[in-house]
Amino acid sequence: MLKSPRLNAQRMALLGTVAVLSLTGLAVQALSPAQAQTPPALTIGAAPQSFADIVARVRGAVVAVKVKTIETASADEDAQNAMPQMRPGDPLEQFFRRFGGEGQMPFGRQQRPRAAQSLGSGFIISDDGYVVTNNHVVEHATEVTIALDDGRNVAAEVVGTDPRTDLALLKIKEKGPFTRVAFAGDMPRVGDWVIAVGNPFGLGGTVTAGIVSARGRDIGAGPYDDFLQIDASVNRGNSGGPTFNTRGEVVGVNTAIFSPSGGSVGIGFAIPTEVARDVIESLRNKGSVARGWIGVQIQPVTQDIADSLGVKDAKGALVAELQNGSPAGAAGIRSGDIITAVNGERIEGPRELARKIAGAGPDKQAELTYLRDGKEQLVKVTLGTLPQDKPRRADSNGREGGAERNALSSLGLTLAPATAVPGVSREGVVVVQVAPNGAAAATGLKAGDLILEAGGQKVERPSDVSVALANARKEGRRALLLRVKSGDNTRYIAIAPAG
């Protein structure tokens, strides 16, 4: 599915597995006094000498997913291969124009549809032929064919997709029964053996093995990233294929790789079963996924922010802004609160909060633990339904006005009342200028940003920011906490003055 390799987490269409890695017992003998003092070697257990029995049991459920799509390509792309290169003014140029029609040779930019085909992997989870794969494998598909392990090619339809987790559910149109596999009931530990099976580079059923290298990876693929990192070799064509434990249960859905070349370098990412199982069940029952929503913009609690709020631990999710009509707002949550737990389970940061709220589902009640003014409080929130993503507007440009300004030299900021800058806002102060080497620039503040609060207090004039800064210094805080709006996004910034 990749059109060009990049040095980042890349999505792949996979169908394979990898080289078998195994460890056998090693005997250590005391050959010298120095060696006799060496601590005994750790015993490595559960390392099979062969994965053949597991593979024989599961490979019949692993399939290749063949997808046909319609892409649009400009006439320029087609003509580059089909037409001769001519200098401007060449006599043949007019001939080709007349022969092909105006705008249909290399000189036009007409869009032409063309058929394309891609390959991925998947696995059957039911006797009647439900197949799990990646959303990016079947996205924009006009026709889907499943290649079974026994050599048959059968038609399939897309039951539902979930772009947020990159999962999709297909249904084979022929009657079963089919060989199937099951999701694991527990998650693997870092260091556990895993086996990947798929269709790398269209080669057909391929098996590779390795270990779980890490858990909880966030690779920036989506809002609910929680990937398993595995070192079993996966490549393009493996997308949507399963990762098995040594009991032959699915512990992950292969989705992405980190590679400078487009091929495996031993760093692959799989959607864990605990995420995939619930999404696939919802797609099977409803054809879509409905997620819980509390209607807040959240951000991580950095150590600077924790210090400016007088909070000991830099953990939890800081509420930057509440959306209109949000369930959290109705329950009493305010900007500046730090959500630290959901239903009694502690959260480390914003992504964990997002996953827990989304996974709870709409119309459910959740108990949120949060910090306000350093005190822990509880509130019950009835979750709404996560709306579709809205397009974001570009950040506004800073504009000069004839308004009162205040140069806060220690912060590297020049501010003006927002009301004095036409079309900006009726509240807060607008950033007019940011010193390139100042403290404000280091936090990412830029001209056009709107400061709504400083030190927990609303601001209307630049002098309000100066007062908040003086108060923070009196209280012995190392940084001043600002609530800032950039375009449609609101966030908190902890800024430490110079000097």
- Active site (catalytic) residues: 136, 166, 239
Report helix, strand and coil shares of the chain as percent, to nearest 5: 20, 35, 45
Instruction: State both tokens at 261.
Output: 């070349």
Q: How far apart are CA 248 and CA 184, in angstroms?
A: 9
Closest to 417 measured CA to CA, from 451, 468, 445: 451
Closest to 265 measured CA to CA, from 3, 9, 4: 9
8-state DSSP, 277: H
Q: How far apart are CA 385 and CA 345, in angstroms?
A: 22
Q: What are 272's strand-pairing partners?
A: 252
Contact 199, 64 (CB under 8 A): yes
The residue with tokens 């707002």 is 329
Contact 120, 240 (CB under 8 A): yes
Instruction: State both tokens at 488.
Output: 């449609």
Q: How far apart are CA 277 and CA 127, in angstroms?
A: 17
Which residues are CB-neighbours of 34 under 8 A, at least 6 positions away? none
